[in-house]
Amino acid sequence: MYRKTKFNIRLLLCVTACTMCWPIALAESADKDNALQVVDTGVHQSWDDRTDISAEFQTNHKPIYGIETLQPIKYYDNNSKSVVFIQGKVSSRGGVNQIANGYANHATRNAGGIGYGYDFNQSTQSISTTGSIGLGYRRLSKGEHSYVGINTFYDYAFKEHYKRTSLGVEYVTGENEIYANFYKPLGHTTSSHSSTWRDEMIPAPYNTLDTEVLVGESHEKRIASGYDIGYGRTFKNARYLRAYIDRYHWNHMNGEIRDIEWFSDDIDNIAFPVNGTYNNGFKMGVNVNVSPHISVGLGYDKPFDHSGEFYVQTMYTLGKSKFALFGGKHSDDSMTTARSKMLDKIERQDMQTLNLNGDFHVHYPHDHL
């Protein structure tokens, strides 16, 4: 497991480094061959123009810090009709881990069917540092007023070892953007069960020692599959502004924590139903390029079965954004809107996982009650 983790970390770091080194090497090669003769094309020519450092703050969640970059694999300019690119990201928090814990201490029917204690609780934790790497392809229409794109990504949580892949499609026409991503976990749901016989005290008010109590634990971890469909829009005379709405849906986020003796006729079967609180919902918000280096986003995340939460994101671009409220352009008639978006980053959803933990203590007829 340790070697696999080291391999995944090294792989993601190497690929992320390559995303930044590729355009530098290509630019140097183009300079040597005098091939780069583009004047104010509006297409970002420098790798740092497409590399961002971000900080996101959301109600009831820890801050998220990350770095993300998108780089074309080969030279791209205003005469190119298509582009192949890679997009990489490392984030301090890669999603939400929902945790459910169930506890029961009880006797079988033949031992009186007494319930000594029950407890159930649900909580959420942040998934730790996560890396993502993706490959994408976009192609302009004949008149350059729209483009279609397809992409695939691999996500990996370094601490929890969660793995996920996705397939995405997109269509951009004029100021309008439509995109969809389909997510699938890599590997199956992991589960473990253990049981042992031991002597232990019966809880109050009995406070007596019982022998040969069956104690069992169960643990199950799930990575959600699902999809999101989004719509984004920029504005012709305010290209520094982008509004969006995104609908998401996650599968396998409901479950049940069952007693270790679930199939026994001598036991009142005990189960704790678990309902994921972030199964379905939508996000909506706006992003503003305040300056060529700094952008600010404000959004609202509303799960259908949970209260909504506001979030704020600030982002620093290592290079410069062409469009900005202050110090940048507000519009550009030198190229079509679709072409100007050919190197925009792909929008995706973070991971969602579910952990089910059971702790059961079963007393049999020989109990000393």
For 331, the domain range is 2-363
- 225 has pLDDT over 50: yes
CATH number of the domain enclosing 186: 2.40.160.160
- pTM, 2 dp: 0.82
Q: Which two tokens stand for residue 176?
A: 């309008």
Q: Which residue has the tokens 């996650």?
A: 250
- 227 has pLDDT over 70: yes
Higher pLDDT, 35 or 100: 100
327, part of any domain? yes
192, part of any domain? yes
177, part of any domain? yes
20, part of any domain? yes
pLDDT category at 21 given cuts 50, 70, 90 is very low
Residue 60: CB atoms within 10 Å: 7
Average of per-residue pLDDT values in the chain: 84
369, part of any domain? no
Q: Is 148 exposed, middle or buried (0-12, 13-18, 19+ CB in 10 A)?
A: middle
- 11 has pLDDT over 50: no
244, part of any domain? yes
- 78 has pLDDT over 90: no
pLDDT for residue 194: 87
- 37 has pLDDT over 70: no
Question: Which range has the top average pLDDT, 13-22, 190-199, 278-287?
Answer: 278-287
Give me the number of domains the chain comprises: 1
368, part of any domain? no
Residue 77: CB atoms within 10 Å: 15
79, part of any domain? yes
- pLDDT tens for 49-61 read 889 999 998 877 7
